[in-house]
Amino acid sequence: MAETGVIATQGALRTRGSVLTSFARQRELSLAAIMVVLGALVSIVAPQFLTISNLTAVAALASIYAVASVGEALVVITRNIDLSVEAMIGVVAYCVASILERHVLDAPAAIVLGIGIGLVLGMANGVIVALLRVPSIVATLGTLSIFRGLDYVIAGSHQVPLAGLPPGFTDPARTNLLGVLPEFVVIALVVVVLGTIVLRSTRFGRQVYAVGSNPEAAAILGIPARLIEFSAFSVCGLLAGVAGVMWVMFFGTINGTAGTGIVLSIVAAVVVGGVSTLGGSGTIAGAALGALFLGLTANALPLVGLSQFWLQAIYGLVILVAVSVDAVILRRLQRATAERRAR
């Protein structure tokens, strides 16, 4: 029975491949496991780490990053990157705060407008990348500067104080549902769940992965790659708008520099969360967990006695480790596949 022999060999090889595969694919689980282990270690040194009040505070800030990371993940899955996210957050945050301070609009209308501004800025990125075919790293480096410049021009040296905002506007950043679940976390969860449904169970989601994984195959299938890239950048802008509104609620005091420098953390969250920088793979939940992981790290550092100055270096290290692990896994997978093909 030559036939069974062939099948048996393939089966044996596949088992080996699938252990690696599942490790590569279970980034969400392994990240969660690492967080639990590290959390336990930190709490031995600093018992105040594992208190509800501390964790809810961490989670609220991490939620802002998570929302922005979801948009960034969508862009990265299409084999692009959006470096202008932090500037979009900054523009939206200042505009919303300023409008509220001047009583131009009431709170709900200002929130909708803020998200709309994010969407428009994201669409601008989409046009430059998808229509004008400018490589996204260059295009969004440009718009990062332009959007931030706009922010400075609009804001000047003005700072909107907490007192300038309507009473209760910042409450969502501080209140918990049922006493334990911060409202910000609920917002992030809604975004993650919606994003996951879109990517997993819609035609659009499938096409996003196809374009990012194999543009040539997608072209032969007639998938509208440019439209999909444009949509990804637009949604990224929209979510940056949501994050910008949350920024106002969280910090209360807003000037033209809001969000400066956070793009590193957002991209780091996406990469740590297992989204491939080569496009085509990764999940929304992974990116959001990556944001939570970085938030917890930032919170834990001072508790274990390390200076905040270490933070940037540690983020950089975490990115490198995550990408290296991905590269190693990818090589091993390819080798396993090549061996199997050789049979």
Partner 1 sequence: MTATPSSAPPASPEPVTPSVPPRIELRGISKRFAATQALEDVSLDLLPGEIHGLVGENGAGKSTLVKILAGVHQPDSGTIRLDGEATQIHGPAHSRSLGIAVVHQEPRLFPDLTVAENVFIGHAPSGRLGSIDWGATRRLAEGLFRELDVQVDVGAPVRGLSMADQQLIEIAKSLSLEARVLILDEPTASLSAHEVERLFTIVRRLRDRGVSVLFVSHRLDEVFALCDRATVFRDGRHVVTMPTRDLTTADLVRHMVGRTVSLFPKVETPIGDVLLEVSGLTKVGEFRDVGFSVRAGEIVGFAGLVGAGRTEVARVLFGIDQRDRGQILLGGVPVSFASPSAAMHAGIAYLPEDRHQEGLVQDFTIAQNVTLPILPRLFPRLLTRISAERKVAHEFTEQLSVRMTGVDQLVGSLSGGNQQKVVLAKWLASRPRILILDEPTRGIDIGAKVEVHRIISELAASGLGIVLISSDLPEVLAMSDRILVFHEGKITAEIPRSQATQERVMFAATGSATGDELAVAPPAAGARGDGGLDG
Strand, helix or coil for residue 160: strand
Position among 69, 140, 207, 297 found at the interface with partner 1 (CB under 8 A): 207
Write out the two tokens for 40: 């336990």
Where does this chain touch partner 1 (CB under 8 A) — which range of 27-35, 83-91, 175-183, 213-221? 213-221
**What's the longest Cα–Cα distance across the chain?**
83
- Of positions 62, 110, 210, 236, contacts partner 1 by CB under 8 A: 210
Distance of alpha carbon 66 from alpha carbon 201, whole angstroms: 21
**Residues of this chain, 97-116, that bind partner 1 according to CB under 8 A:** none
Q: Which of 202, 260, 312, 324 binds partner 1 (CB under 8 A)?
A: 202
3-state class (DSSP) for residue 249:
helix
| Pair of tokens at residue 116 | 């709309």
CA-to-CA dists, residue 70 to 120, 221, 240, angstroms = 18, 27, 9
| Interface pick for partner 1 out of 175, 196, 213, 257 (rule CB under 8 A) | 213
Looking at the chain, how many residues does it have?
A: 343
Binding to partner 1 in span 182-201, by CB under 8 A = 197, 201
Q: Does 218 bind partner 1 (CB under 8 A)?
A: yes
Pick from 17, 39, 142, 172: which binds partner 1 (CB under 8 A)?
17
Is residue 333 close enough to count as binding partner 1 by CB under 8 A? yes
Stretch that binds partner 1, among 92-100, 162-170, 217-225, 315-323 (CB under 8 A): 217-225
Supply the minimum distance, in Å, between the C-beta of residue 226 and partner 1.
12
Q: How far is the CB of 204 from partner 1 (least distance, A)?
A: 8
Applying CB under 8 A, does 22 fall inside the site for partner 1?
A: no
Strand-pairing partners, residue 160, are: 254
Of 280, 286, 290, 295, the one binding partner 1 (CB under 8 A) is 280
Nearest to 115 by CA among 187, 43, 211, 59: 187
Binds partner 1 (CB under 8 A): choice among 158, 226, 332, 340: 340
| 10 near partner 1 (CB under 8 A) | yes
Contact in structure between 310 and 301 (CB atoms under 8 Å): yes
Phi/psi of residue 273, each to 5°?
-75, 0
Q: How many residues bind partner 1 (CB under 8 A)?
A: 37
At 59 the three-state DSSP class reads: helix
Contact status, residue 28 vs residue 283, Cβ threshold 8 Å: yes
Sequence-separated (6 or more) residues with CB below 8 Å from residue 216: none
CB of 56 or CB of 281, closer to partner 1: 281
| Interface ranges with partner 1 (CB under 8 A) | 6-7, 10-11, 14, 17-18, 21, 197, 201-203, 205-207, 209-210, 213-214, 216-223, 280-281, 333, 336-338, 340-343
